[in-house]
Chains A and B, each alone.
Chain A
């Protein structure tokens, strides 16, 4: 136990030693891989883009497969595919998640560019459309990776009618929520900051509205969601635990379309359409809550909290345009803000607290050849939190945030069907503002020091090759190199003891290099195909993380501070190994998997015990941080039915997550606050007919850990508490059942064909649906937090201490009306 979680003895070293066998293995595979490419004989290439015939959107992860050769390729995030084969005439199968399989006979005597549209036949059919996905569950090297389709997410029960991407991924094995209704999610024992959340490749630093109860992702603007929770490929980095890729819709290339919805707490409207048909399109989507109006009605004028209000809004926009057959550009943007006003008339106290994200990404796709695809991305990401208050004569303002400007380039090379090679580089310039404070009492301005800003460069480069060693074994071998430089201007505060040493500072000028870290991150994953439609997969990933989220509270809040690696705060680093068995049944109707993982993490960050908000004012935040390590391990079972009227999944996870910090809990190992031994989810959707779809989800999870007072004492007539060991108390288990039903309007109307005089069914331009949800059907009072309450007084003899449980959400029915035309 102690051996595994042993503290690094030499704290001064900058680069972690990756085991030499590890590096040799990766380099050997890369060498073999590139050697094999050179043996490729004269061949022809079939390439092009795959789009949806209904709206012209690029289709991701469509399998292009030639049964005669048993060779195939997948379309990438931009719909591009490339398959190099020996010349011949072939039946080529295009398999998509949404539209099933479509076969084209293609004469490949020479290299051919064939961009195709999928889905026309199915969309015209009046038959019930069911999911026809041919799963890649067994055959791909991906493990710990799950893609979710928005159509599926939209039919699941939604809290207060708000379709929510994050809450859906929390239903997957290995992923757990921070708390009741929380948006923060923990993946395989990692913290919320160890998840890289990307919106069209721009980093999202705060993915939550309303203190975590709602996601920043407007479901109408989202096209697809992809979660990588283990075996992270080399083209991703910068976080230790997972990658959540959220891709926005591109906008309808064919016609103008309006969608929207009116819900219990918010409404939304989306407009999309062609800029030029089949050349370019746009989408704009906006959403706003009316919680402030509801709150105003709920809080009476005589309440001490009268005047308190809250609302959020967000805005998504995206443009794309095909400049030529080889060039396409995209411009994506997101802006969202939460505003909370708090009023306590009794205490004469008022506060205003706005926070939010702004994200922009510009991308350029270029085809150098039918085998070489390039994507260049420039990104801007900004997250800010502000707090202003006034009590009597005292005025106080606080701000914190993070801003990134970055660029990256990614190449995809498809030399032959055996190899799929990627390489690229990434750069970001970070500006962190952990805390900026101004305070004034009447005319007296307090000295809160200059606003702390920290500047840093982060860069990385990678190469990976996914290749088939033989018919059974496929390998994905990659190597990533990352580097981080903390640069000036910067003021380092060095605290003296006030007796033999006094406080001093070191002043770094603009551009001064304060500290440099770098390291190699090998990534390997393997699939070994077995008979009976099954496979064994294994993966290993080493990761560095140079930005950290520090939190003073037991729950995730916008007040949490993003903080960079510095000379004191070292980069988080760690590895994860996983092994899994995957098997599909009944012609891929059912898919299943069992995965075992083990993860170690070093240089994790927490605030010192007893740290208070503001302790980092006129000081460096890392002076009040402590550092430790952690480990997590578990086993995940997943059983899914993705074809037919009834679809859904069952997931179960047994896991353990521990931490050890020399300066916390007297140096003893303690469970992480999101340590959960058991986590069970059941999700089901039944499509009764063209008009009705029913869904249900059930969750059972071991209760969260927390720290409560174990004893009380009295000092100067005040009752004080002494807390027990860190996270030694566990709340009651969490379980909840949600149900939903969606009623669609009739999709077709009957018309007389003027040519034949017969009655025919014509698809309606205008469609709508009612979505009914019941959250927490059996009204379980799940614990949100516990606290020790005291009531009465000593003298009257009725003084009493008790543990109180606060539960947030009882049974909540909701209805949302959605429309499109």
Chain B
């Protein structure tokens, strides 16, 4: 995560350049478009596997909401196996959701409930198999005669030693959430950091939510994270964005993920922050899926903790 600082600087320089330069839209030939399947699948301890299938779109194709909806793939055969049992995932669609799941589905797709239930967005869910620590899960997708496979693992979670809050700078009632973590001595541990405030149904991701132990393998250390929810609050005071306020109750979810999965997310966030920056190298995001699809099949092993900001 540290080197995103450098990426940030280069992005800043490009912003400066753009500020003093002239920018205009151009039509230019971009060869090399391939129609590819995109698999976005995850499984978490105690939760079913959820898999979304979609396709890539030509960069010059329409990018309206209809195009986004039409990108979802329906009718594929999706199975997961834990090495002993195999479960065929059920395709459920947003216009026919089981009662009580609307809000979860809305958060999953990033759409308001009233919008979602009038759409036909489909996901594949493993009602017959839930994630367990220590197990390896193999995903198989068959679509239009092509087969795609991927493997992920749910490892033992790494607990946080403690959580605390402290005011930042001159503020007395605003600050970041701090955590103390003792990283296991084996190298290659990778993590995802998510948070929500008490009363919220879904976790949010911070700006750089994925990190690994490259620089702190086996160490005990403290680190801080910002409040991502504050940026989504249109009524919030811009000056306080990023901070938790005194009295907030924060639920933290620190999930352990595999190396290949971390590699996907590291490159993904690098692309998000550097796309269009002339100082960066064009980076295609690697995948752990065999067969020519893009995307990721990831197993999360979460550790939950609660912080009361005081």
Which residues does A use to contact B, with CB under 8 Å? 211, 305, 308, 342, 344, 347, 349, 351, 353, 387, 389, 391-394, 396, 398, 439, 441-444, 446-448, 498, 503, 552-555, 557, 559, 607, 609-615, 617-618, 707-718, 720-725, 728-732, 781, 783-790, 794-795, 797-808, 810
Contacts and interface: CB of A to CB of B under 8 A. Distances in A.
Contacts of A211: 13
A781 B2 contact: no
> Which are the 5 A-B pairs with shortest beta-carbon distances?
A724-B32, A614-B3, A787-B276, A446-B215, A785-B278
A725 B224 CA distance: 40
A314 B233 CA distance: 50
Contacts of B71: 713-714
Question: Interface extent on B, as a size class?
Answer: 35 or more
A607 B281 CA distance: 9
B30 A708 contact: yes
Contact of A618 (B27, B188, B214): B214
Interface string B7-27: 111101101111111111111
Contacts of A781: 22, 24
Given A721-B271, A807-B22, 14 more contacts: A305-B19, A392-B176, A439-B215, A607-B281, A612-B7, A613-B6, A617-B3, A710-B59, A713-B294, A718-B268, A794-B65, A800-B63, A805-B26, A806-B22
Contacts of B276: 787-789, 804
A671 to B, nearest CB: 12
A799 B56 contact: no
B282 interface: yes
A448 B215 contact: yes
9 contacts: A305-B19, A441-B224, A444-B216, A617-B3, A711-B59, A713-B55, A721-B59, A797-B65, A803-B30
Given A553-B278, A614-B6, A800-B63, A711 B21 contact: no
Nearest to B226: A392
Contacts of B29: 729-730
B168 A392 contact: yes
Contacts of A615: 3
Contacts of B115: 795
B272 A718 contact: yes
A808 B280 contact: no
Nearest to B3: A614
B78 interface: no
Interface stretch (B34-42, B86-94, B139-147, B156-164): B34-42
B171 interface: no
Given A447-B216, A709-B59, A787-B277, A805 B30 contact: no
Nearest to A725: B32
Contact of A342 (B12, B23, B285): B12
Contacts of B32: 710, 723-725, 728
Given A392-B224, A396-B2, A498-B259, A711 B34 contact: yes
A725 to B, nearest CB: 5
Contacts of A805: 23-26
Given A721-B271, A786-B28, A342 B13 contact: yes
B118 interface: no
Nearest to B6: A613
Contact of A710 (B54, B58, B109, B283): B58
Given A722-B56, A785-B278, A710 B31 contact: yes
B275 A441 contact: no
A394 B59 contact: no
Given A708-B30, A710-B59, A806-B21, A553 B280 contact: yes
B310 interface: no
A348 B292 CA distance: 41
B63 A712 contact: yes
Contacts of A305: 12, 15-16, 19
Given A498-B188, A807-B21, A353 B2 contact: no
Nearest to A298: B20
Nearest to B19: A305
Contacts of A795: 65, 111-112, 115
A12 B278 CA distance: 36
Contact of A720 (B25, B28, B268, B282): B268
Contacts of B13: 211, 342
B240 interface: no
Given A439-B215, A710-B33, A716-B40, A553 B279 contact: yes
B284 A447 contact: no
Nearest to A499: B259
B25 A802 contact: yes
A522 B279 CA distance: 38
Contacts of B21: 784, 806-808
Nearest to B284: A723
Nearest to A557: B279
B2 A614 contact: yes
Contacts of B19: 305
A353 to B, nearest CB: 7
A571 B132 CA distance: 51
B228 interface: no
A659 B60 CA distance: 28
B215 A447 contact: yes
A446 B26 contact: no
A806 to B, nearest CB: 5
B24 A804 contact: yes
B33 A711 contact: yes
B267 interface: yes
A296 to B, nearest CB: 14
Contacts of B112: 795
Interface in B259-310: 259, 266-268, 270-272, 275-286, 294-296
B28 A389 contact: no
A394 B2 contact: yes
Nearest to B205: A716
A349 B8 contact: yes
B81 interface: no
Given A717-B110, A803-B30, A722 B284 contact: yes
B285 A720 contact: yes
Nearest to A389: B5
Contacts of A713: 36, 38, 54-57, 71, 294-295
Contact of A612 (B22, B58, B110, B266): B266
A391 B9 CA distance: 11
B170 interface: no
Nearest to B2: A439
A714 B68 contact: yes
B24 to A, nearest CB: 6
Contacts of B25: 802-805
B294 to A, nearest CB: 6
Contacts of A612: 3, 7, 266-267, 270, 283
Most chain B CB atoms below 10 A, which of A344, A611, A612: A612
A613 B3 contact: yes
Given A552-B280, A553-B279, A555-B279, A610 B7 contact: no
Contacts of B224: 392-393, 441-442
B3 A444 contact: no
A561 to B, nearest CB: 13
Interface string B85-117: 000000000000000000000000111100100
Most chain B CB atoms below 10 A, which of A308, A389, A720, A725: A720
